[in-house]
Amino acid sequence: MRPVFEALWKRGRNWLPELLVLPSGGCPDAKISPGDLTLLEGHWDANERCLNPPVSLLSWLIRNVGALRSRTLDSESRQRLADGDPAAVDEALRLLRTEGAARAWYVFEGPTCPDAYLLARDAIVVIEGKRTEATITSDTTWLTGRHQMRRHLDAAWEVRGRRAVYGFFIVESEADGSLTDHWRSAGASRLAADALQSSFPHRSSLEIDAISRCYLGITTWRQVCNQFQIDWLTLPHDTSSLGA
């Protein structure tokens, strides 16, 4: 991740439009909105930017502890939520509104950290880089089917203001730079109706449709390097410097 994005950053702040057209296999209705895509900030590697989960999700989780993944609840307070104790639910919701803690007995999802976060005047872009991983994370500790990219998009959507939101994967490729069959299939699975619903239990159908259109799909490291004339062979090819 780092050497590719550092090479891009050295080119200036106007390369985002070229990058956004590289992914494929995303939502059929996804499109790049007109606007100023001049970059203001770029975050990756040690400078990564983590995004808080939507408060509406945290509230839904408090009220639906019984729907969470089967596991041993680690506190008496959480057990009271699971038992449907109205006083515990009221207290958890009150603390959620007033404290806003990242870790607490009433918090059932933590921040999400895309491998790259790009902020432009009119867009937020979240990117997940895969180098050696064969799968896309599809669960959180507490919620089954809360897919990794959907978490990124959900959190970015919450703070977007008037900006458009885009998200995609950059993955390893075949020798010619094309997507492997595995990643082509994995990308398509992000569009399945059940994957959308399980990722956004707190969202309305209109919101789910809007957020799903932010998903641009998948591109490869080689495609990015070819597009921007970055010498692929000179880059370090180890997981700590290039991949996720």
* 3-class DSSP string for the chain: CHHHHHHHHCCCCCCHHHHHCCCEECCCCCCCCCCCCCEEEEEEHHHCCCECCCHHHHHHHHHCHHHCCCCCCCCHHHHHHHCCCHHHHHHHHHHHHHCCCCCCCCCCCCCECCCEEEEECCEEEEEEECCCCCCCCCECCCCECCCHHHHHHHHHHHCCCCCEEEEEEEECCCCCCCCCHHHHHHHHHCCCHHHHHHHCCCCCHHHHHHHHCCEEEEEEHHHHHHHCCCCHHHCCCCCCCCCC
Torsion-angle region of 25 (φ positive above 0: left; ψ -120 to 50: alpha; else: beta): left
Examine residue 215 and state whether it is found in any structural domain, yes or no.
yes
Distance CA 61, CA 200 (A): 11
27 and 63 inside one domain: no
What's the CA dihedral at 194, 199, 202, 205 to 10 degrees? -50
- pLDDT (average), residues 214-218: 94
Residue that is last in its domain, among 34, 67, 98: 98
Residue 87 lies in domain: 55-98
Give which of 187, 147, 151, 150 is closest to 170, Cα–Cα: 187
128 and 117 inside one domain: yes
Distance CA 135, CA 140 (A): 14
Lowest mean pLDDT among 38-42, 47-51, 170-174, 240-244: 240-244
Examine residue 244 and state whether it is found in any structural domain, yes or no.
no
For a pLDDT cut of 90, what percent of the chain falls above it?
65
What pLDDT sits at residue 243? Answer: 45
146 and 68 inside one domain: no
Mean pLDDT of the residues in the chain? 87
Q: Which has more confidence, 23 or 137? A: 23
Sequence length of the chain is: 244
Residue that is last in its domain, among 73, 98, 123: 98
Distance CA 225, CA 49 (A): 23
77 and 126 inside one domain: no
229 and 145 inside one domain: yes
What pLDDT sits at residue 217? Answer: 93
Examine residue 60 and state whether it is found in any structural domain, yes or no.
yes
What pLDDT sits at residue 240? Answer: 41
10 and 71 inside one domain: no
43 and 83 inside one domain: no
Distance CA 37, CA 1 (A): 21
For 133-172, the pLDDT digits (tens) are 656 777 888 888 888 999 999 999 999 999 999 999 999 8
Examine residue 243 and state whether it is found in any structural domain, yes or no.
no
- pLDDT (average), residues 228-235: 82
For 178-206, the pLDDT digits (tens) are 777 777 766 665 556 666 788 899 999 99
Distance CA 36, CA 61 (A): 36
Total count of domains within the chain: 2
88 and 121 inside one domain: no
63 and 181 inside one domain: no
Distance CA 191, CA 9 (A): 31
- pLDDT (average), residues 94-117: 94
